[in-house]
Amino acid sequence: MAPSRTAARRRHPTLFIIGGAEDRVGKATVLRRFVRLAGGRSARIVVIPTASSFQDEVVAAYTEVFTRLGAPEPSVVNPQDRAEAHDEALVALLDDATGIFMSGGSQLKLSQRFPGTPLGEALHRAHERGAVIGGTSAGASIMSQFMISMGDEGITPRQRHSQLSAGLGLLEGVIIDQHFAQRSRYGRLMAMVAASPSLIGIGIDEDTAIEVRGRQVFTVHGSGAVFVLDCRSAVSDAPEARRGAPLMVSGAVVHSLPAGATFDLAEVRLVDFVEKHADAAVALATAKA
């Protein structure tokens, strides 16, 4: 039945976008799902550690966990500059992959080497043919068309406290942010969406992922929550507010979505929710409460 499963994946381009700090040593719920989407025992996974300052350690860590979860040893694609992003051997690795995983680190390192290069085009081709494109932290932010590359912490949206850069555009019409609750990024994402209300903000907690199928519908996995910020009907003083001032944003529609939620990004609404049982991380949170 392997050919038909491959065909099914071809019909559903899939992104797997993780908010950082996913569990690797416990049940590894989030990474287990990525390995399964990549094809499990028959997966051909490529790790891209380029965002990180500790690339050898990142490759070793993901090699350990992906093989422990049943996948063959992954390949590595790690361009050191924009010129190397034209390397045909690296392009060939991405063209052959069933799963591609971008690590955390600095999303600006990724934006220097992937958008608009042959490696970036290979990522788009891989997505198109149904390979799962995964990324965590910086590797999550780079997926969207607009990417928050810098910003401050806090709940209050403030004027000119964040910076947008161009991401890969694998997912259009959104801004993805990560480490969302842990680094209190509600304010910075709301400020960006208030200034660009045609975009939908997606804030992903640590150890939490969205699985985006067919560029439109996502399902939540992991121990935290995913926030969706929708300012299409909001009013804001983003055109007038002074630098540093708290922004007025009235009428934003906000969704906080734990594992089991399915959300339609085209209609911007919850389409399904299945209450999940406790997993290890939630049990831990409960014990500390």
- For residue 251, the minimal CB distance to its own copies (Å) is 6
Query: What are the structure tokens assigned to 101, written together?
Result: 């995983």
Listed ranges 107-115, 129-137, 168-176, 247-255: which one lies at the site for its own copies (CB under 8 A): 247-255
Q: Tell me, residue by residue from 215 to 234, as one string, x for binding to its own copies by CB under 8 A and - for no binding.
A: --------xxx-x-------
Distance, C-alpha 23 to centroid of its chain: 15
Beta bridge partners of 75: 46
Tell the smallest beta-carbon distance from residue 223 to its own copies (Å). Answer: 8
Q: Looking up tokens 């719920």, which residue turns up?
A: 29
Number of residues that bind its own copies (CB under 8 A): 54
Closer CB to its own copies, 218 or 263, in the complex: 263
Kind of pairing between the strands at 217-222 and 261-264: antiparallel
For the chain, first and last CA: distance in Å?
Answer: 47
Stretch of 38-46, 108-116, 135-143, 246-254 contacting its own copies, by CB under 8 A: 246-254
Closest contact distance (angstroms) between CB of 201 and its own copies is 12
Q: Does 248 bind its own copies (CB under 8 A)?
A: yes
3-state SS assignment for residue 184: coil
235 binds its own copies (CB under 8 A): yes
Is 252 in contact with 194 (CB distance < 8 Å)? yes
Q: Which of 181, 196, 197, 215 binds its own copies (CB under 8 A)?
A: 181
Residue count of the chain, please give it: 289
Nearest of 281, 275, 265 to residue 15 by alpha carbon: 265
Q: What is the DSSP letter of 96?
A: H
Instruction: Using only the alpha carbons of the chain, give its radius of gyration.
Output: 18
Question: Tokens 């929550």 — which residue?
Answer: 225
Nearer to its own copies, 147 or 190 (CB): 190
Interface residue with its own copies among 154, 164, 173, 213 (CB under 8 A) is: 154
Any idea what DSSP says for residue 150?
E
For 49, counting Cβ atoms within 10 Å of its Cβ (0-12 exposed, 13-18 middle, 19+ buried), the class is buried
Tokens of 143: 């997926």
Q: Of 87, 95, 121, 237, which lies in the binding site for its own copies, with binding defined by CB under 8 A?
A: 237
The smaller minimum CB distance to its own copies, of residues 8 and 284, is found at: 284
Q: Is 205 among the residues that bind its own copies (CB under 8 A)?
A: yes
Q: Is 192 in the site for its own copies (CB under 8 A)?
A: no
Give me the residues that bind its own copies (CB under 8 A), please: 152, 154-158, 160-161, 180-181, 184, 186-187, 190, 205, 223-225, 227, 235, 237, 240-258, 260-261, 263, 269-270, 273, 275, 278, 282-283, 285-287, 289
